[in-house]
Structure 1
């Protein structure tokens, strides 16, 4: 019996090591080679240029890249950043993507395509590069902005958005909102009336459309997403300087969480740092709320 018990931890560790992971929120890998400046800009949330006197490799993510990614490319752990970047350049973006994605242990990618979609690999590109299935997570704000850019009237915005959302999500696995960036999470949790949506859409379109920031329109697209029935991801907390961190606390969503509970739609709180405790409480208190631990080690 003691021998069998001694074997359990090893067997459990092996089972975990062999378990394919699902990355439920990933942006595509870069489809082209990167200069050092471009690479360092991608490993920080700052939107400011990297000062000449410092490097983003001297950060937790920089240390992680040199520790875990460098050996996959045939280098020693914690090699010099210059050596790592030179190896990436010699191999080329396609081979680097194949090696790193293949070594990730991820068996299925859910690719959120609303961020720099024209520059990064989409679901099909990620599937080809990794050898694993990849599906799309559709960003609600991007769909709304595409509807406006295509041309519509204030009175038809709601219906046009609904049609576009259904079409964009025919094969999608989930939705995402960046309400935290656009108006903060302290918006009225109730769905707006049709009249409110038309008025807000008229004001937005008269200003030329662009980024959807009006809280009424954000509320509308969030509720349209809930009606669509796919899991809905919320950006929480940490992000670039465009987000007001004070208004990205998930506790601000409690009203919406309770109103949305009868829909049965899973709500996923992404990132969460530095609000892990608040997000953990919500996930514990409400069965339809899920807590992403992607930044749990930051």
Structure 2
């Protein structure tokens, strides 16, 4: 950004500065020892000149990026404008009292300006919200998705919002909409279904139902998704015993409904069963890694904890997508993508939720080791069309 470029002040160059053959300006340091002339290099080229040169060099690449319609590989459902979800959630993963501090973050200030510029209104939260209400979802949705130049979105519809829109509605804004099935949501839906008699379930009967439902939709979805990181962490045991998993199921069934599965043994078992289907059906498995809302324990979201899964030969051909740049574990994710053929990376949420420096730093860390063709784009858009645009 222009604001980050250092200004070169010619008046600050001492008279004894000289230019050598390399094109650098060198300055003799004050107090140098006799017979020695230590020098400090100064670029003779102005930052604005260097910037123009860089822009010209990559102009063709920039045009290609801007003109090519993107596939948004991970996102969530939009909500109706009458939803109770506060628009401030567009800018932050915070909730409750912590959300009130969001307007003081760098990412909020930048994102609000970008939205206001798109809408042609004053860069204030009040004016942007007024514009949204006046225009309606159809208008702002079209504006945001057209500006984002997105040709397809792959939607994880397992994240529930008030007045959440069905997948079919999203086709008003994007030609292609694919569904990503969240495996924990599926398991909880089965358990919470009143038509099933959970009290008589065994692990075998529950697994049979779970796997049958996965197989029945395998041809209708574009991928699977796990939020094990949110529930029990990423140190998943792919060899968890059926005894431990059965005990975990029994404990979950004694809980209150609607049930939210948190038992580690059961989650590990369901994850492993899902990877089997993933391999059989050639479906990628998206895995939440790194930061999110406060519902997760960030200490357990380091992708390095996935080693046991990655070393398991049964899943060597399964495409595992580590979401959200694994921030703040981006370097670790980059390493995994470089040494495991089945690991792919995604930087949605890190862009745009981090500061400019944070986004640049995180993406650089992803690219330190990872093959470029294994680093993928998504917006992690959710609820509001603006999140797709900002991403």
One fold, TM greater than 0.5? yes
Shift of 1:68: 2.3
Instruction: Provide closer, same or farther for how the CA distance between residues 127 and 13 of structure 1 changes in structure 2, counting only shifts above 3 A.
Output: same
Instruction: Provide closer, same or farther for how the CA distance between residues 226 and 70 of structure 1 changes in structure 2, counting only shifts above 3 A.
Output: same
- In our comparison, the structure showing a higher alpha carbon Rg is 2
Shift of 1:25: 0.8
Shift of 1:62: 1.9
Distance 1:8 1:173 in 2: 37
SS in 2 for 1:116: coil
- 1:192 alignment counterpart: 240
The answer for unaligned runs of 5 or more in structure 2 is 1-54, 355-391
Kept in 2: contact 1:183–1:214 (CA 8 A) = yes
1:131 paired with 2:174, answer yes
Kept in 2: contact 1:110–1:123 (CA 8 A) = no
| TM-score for both structures, normalised by structure 2 | 0.67
CA deviation vs aligned residue, 1:138-181 (integer Å, no higher than 9, x gap):
10000000111122333111111111222343311011111111
Structure 1 segment 105-254 matched on structure 2, within 5 A: 105-116=149-160, 119-128=163-172, 130-150=173-193, 151=196, 152=198, 153-155=200-202, 156-187=205-236, 189-208=237-256, 210-229=259-278, 230-254=283-307
1:264 paired with 2:317, answer yes
Distance 1:120 1:64 in 2: 27
1:289 paired with 2:379, answer no
Kept in 1: contact 2:79–2:161 (CA 8 A) = no
- 2:103 alignment counterpart: 57
Distance 2:346 2:160 in 1: 22
Q: Please, which of 17, 24, 41 is the counterpart of residue 89 of structure 2? A: 41
Q: Please, which of 44, 59, 84 is the counterpart of residue 10 of structure 1? A: 59
Distance 2:131 2:351 in 1: 30
Distance 1:47 1:55 in 2: 10
- 1:70 alignment counterpart: 116
Shift of 1:118: 6.0
Distance 1:24 1:171 in 2: 16
Distance 1:60 1:159 in 2: 49
Q: Please, which of 265, 276, 287 is the counterpart of residue 330 of structure 2? A: 276
When the two structures are aligned, how many residues end up with a matched partner?
Answer: 286
